[in-house]
Amino acid sequence: MDISILLALQQFREGGGGIFLKFLEKMTFLGEMNTVLVIMAVVYWCIDKDMGAYLMMGWSGNRLVNGMLKVTACVYRPWIRDARVVPNAATMATATGYSFPSGHSMNAASVYGGCLVRSDFSRASRIIFALTVALVAFSRNYLGVHTPQDVLIGVSAGLLVMVLTYLLMRWIAIHPKEDKYVAVVGLILAVLVATYAAVKPYPADYDLEGKLIVDGAKMARDTFKGVGWCMAFLIGWILERRLVRFTTQISPYRRLTRFAVGLFTYYAVSLILVPLIASGISGAAGTLVSCFVQMFYVVFLFPLLVKLAEGDQPEAVFGKKQKRP
């Protein structure tokens, strides 16, 4: 049935439904990894620190869940399972690895669905968030790179993780000193996922040209991305809560300055430093370290630089006797 739905959408797309193509390509962009990372970073630095931390914690957890499900199910892409499926060429170029569950759908459920989970948004805003999640998920079907099952499970799992994260963050707000135990448990889970992805066997199926359909080593490296982001968030989050404690209760001018400087330095780290690390350290370890550096910069290093640049002395930033706000 999944393939039948994709074939029906494909027929519509090729028979005059191209009018929706550009729009849905833009919607699928909202589920891209780098897009959601930038959105979460801007929220965390400039708008609402607690909201940003909640989104990043939930998203990091979702990356672990997505990676573990992908390497466990090992479901091939729709066009591999049925040659009649012809995906959108531009989207297909980036749709590598296993299909189930949809990473874009889980990203959308993490960020836009994460906002939907919270009750401190207006009804109109919540409708917009819900529509965004639905359109990002549907775009993956319309473009032919995921089945309905992929996106439904992706959205459902993503929202479940965000609900659990929301409840966990509320508990931490009541018991702030217990955050270290949350971090320890999260780090242990990340190590277990990394170990599982590294040691498990992968299918070794070949196409008609004798090429491996999906490289198991690459899938392990992709899972290590989520592990690196998750570990960096947890460590950076604990360090920031104890050593930096920056605030987003600032003037519009400071918000704008943080936004501009933050984006510039984020892209410098992501486009220059991260590739250098990945090329200098081979294999899954390089993937883990490069993603760790990227997220650690967002969660801890840039807030530290902001705190220092905005007038705090180092001893005030790192003072042991500061009380938690």
Residues known to be catalytic: 104, 146
Quick one: which H or E segment has residue 21?
helix 21-29
Q: How many Cα atoms occupy the beta-carbon half-sphere of 252 within 13 Å?
A: 0
The DSSP line for 68-130 is: HHHHHH-PPPHHHH-TT----HHHHTT--S--SS-HHHHHHHHHHHHHHHSSSS-HHHHHHHH
Query: From the CB of residue 305, how many other CB atoms can be counted at a distance below 10 Å?
Result: 16
- If you search the block for the tokens 């090992």, which residue do you land on? 74
Q: How far apart are CA 219 and CA 291, in angstroms?
A: 15
- If you search the block for the tokens 């049935």, which residue do you land on? 1
Q: How far apart are CA 128 and CA 112, in angstroms?
A: 9
What residues form DSSP beta bridges with 206? 212
Written as six digits, the tokens of 29 are 């962009």
Written as six digits, the tokens of 223 are 């899972």
The 3-state DSSP composition of the chain as helix, strand, coil percent (nearest 5) reads 75, 0, 25
> Which of 261, 159, 316 has its CA nearest to residue 151?
159
8-state DSSP, 270: I
Q: Are 115 and 54 in contact (CB under 8 A)?
A: no
Written as six digits, the tokens of 281 are 């350290």
Q: Are 57 and 169 in contact (CB under 8 A)?
A: yes
What residues form DSSP beta bridges with 212? 206
